Amino acid sequence: MSSESETLSSSASAPPPPSQSEESSHEDDSKSVSKKAAKKEAAKLEKLRRRQEAAAALSNATSSLSVEEDPLAANYGDVPLVELQSKAPADVNSWTEVGKLNEAMKDQHVLVRGRAQTIRSVSKNMAFVVVREHGFTVQCVITATPDVVSRQMVKFVSGLNRESIVDVEGIVSVPKDPIKGATQPVEVQVRKLYCVSKALPTLPIIVEDAARSEIEIEKALQAGEQLVRVNQDTRLNNRVIDIRTPANQGIFRIQSQVGTVFRQFLLSENFFEIHTPKLIAGSSEGGASVFRLDYKGQPACLAQSPQLHKQMAICGDFGRVFEIGPVFRAEDSFTHRHLCEFTGLDVEMEIKNHYFEVMDIVDRLFVAMFDSLNQNCEKELEAVGRQYPFEPLKYLRKTLRLTFEEGVQMLKDAGVEVDPLGDLNTETERKLGKLVLEKYGTEFYILHRYPLAVRPFYTMPCYDNPAYSNSFDVFIRGEEIISGAQRVHVPELLAERAQGCGIDVKTISTYIDSFRYGAPPHGGFGVGLERVVMLFCGLNNIRKTSLFPRDPLRIAP
């Protein structure tokens, strides 16, 4: 898939984002370039804002388009604020969703609300408006007709600004020829049309441009036509408009379904939901990737995960818990799969005999999740695939499990040298993913029994070899989405492990103390929501699956 690294747009643009392949050695240069780019972008946005204000003033001055003694003036116009202030309850059932308009509704009177995606004036007597609601579109026809639609109304409609919100009343008709420019196979013959909320005349990006696929752009270039390519920074700087595209509407509905299945499956397995603090005294994971802050004169951190508190919940006899909430990592990483804030899907549970019990939950949870997405999100997946083509995820009914040593051996057999007691880097993870797909026919698998040295301090060592641990990672399309393990529940060993990982034991004393009152063996895992959606949909950047992404250089909008 081609990356969005170039802007051919006459609308607002920005320099391309840092390459996904950049490593930490180039981060200083990246920051310098990105700061200059941010200043340049701010200047462009300010210039655009002034242009928009001038255009809006002109539009307001001319929009009193002569109601010229029009006897049908009540059938169109701007809705005054007083009419939008919820004066009295109305029948919600009188409205029809654009996505539900179909041939069976022929000759029915309908009332729809949506955005004026495109407006085309044919003559003084006719205009077309494509109205969009939640990714679905319908063509609306305005034809001057005695006693129904006046020429002034056609003129009013022709002067609408793109992306303005409009209310349309009309009759459903079925055209002889199929409609190519809308999702719905019917038209609405307009009788009344009102502008509820006016968009600025000049927009920083156009939805049709932002919805265009790389394949479309390349085909046009080969045919000698230059189409607009909206790059990633421009999209994220104008995210409110960008998320109106059909692909983005699909992405975030798919994301919602992932969270729904996660919650419903775990509830059915006797887990219950908890909410842990995001302000903590010490780091959750260790290492330097911590956002530190002042908490009323005391040092504090934003939680890197709910790890410590979900374990404390198990010590409190909660048995099986899960959480969906924000996770913060102060990593200076400019890769395609890292964010400084993401949504964590976390699980913790008592185990009776073996850490495989946790892996069993992972297996059944994700197979159920993938099945649900394929069955219930067909339209959304299709919308994503039109802009970002991808192959459906290959997965087994019973998820493949390999030990870390088996994975290392597969890599060695393929000529890739790997430290048997080290971690896998991004390149080797992807290589192993390809080898697993070739050998086992799956893009979703579990790799367990990792070297202890590369796992967090609270990870339980293996009984038969302390160099390895009762831990696992889970992969989709060669990239990690889950880390999990059996936890250390013996306080003395836990304190020893924390010190060995460079953590000040005093900052996590309440956590360690919670194990001194009797703690059951337990384990769990954490999942990055955005990464799951990115990899399931075969997307090339995690920022596409974060509603308003936060990375080392972005904290707005």
What residues are annotated to the active site? 329, 331, 337-338, 480, 483, 531
Name the nearest CA neighbour of 515 among 536, 545, 490, 541.
490
**Which stretch of DSSP H or E encloses residue 385?**
helix 378-387
Cα distance between residue 61 and residue 64, in whole Å:
7
Residues 6+ apart with CB under 8 A from 518: 315
- Cis peptide, bond prior to residue 557, ω within 30 of zero: yes
**Which stretch of DSSP H or E encloses residue 348?**
strand 341-350
The structure tokens listed for 128 are 């077309």
Give the residues across from 459 on adjacent strands. 487
Give 12-60 as a DSSP string.
---PPPPPTT--GGGHHHHHHHHHHHHHHHHHHHHHHHHHHHHHHHHHH
Total number of residues shown for the chain: 557
Q: Are 522 and 350 in contact (CB under 8 A)?
A: yes
Q: Are 199 and 161 in contact (CB under 8 A)?
A: yes
* Amino acid identity at 411: L
**Helices 426-440 and 404-413, axial angle in degrees (round to 10):** 90
**Where do the DSSP E strands lie in 238-340?**
272-273, 279-280, 292-295, 298-302, 320-328
C-alpha dihedral, 336 to 342 to 459 to 502, nearest 10°: 80
Cα distance between residue 197 and residue 205, in whole Å:
18
Cα distance between residue 277 and residue 250, in whole Å:
31
Handedness of CA 285, 287, 291, 292 (dihedral sign): positive
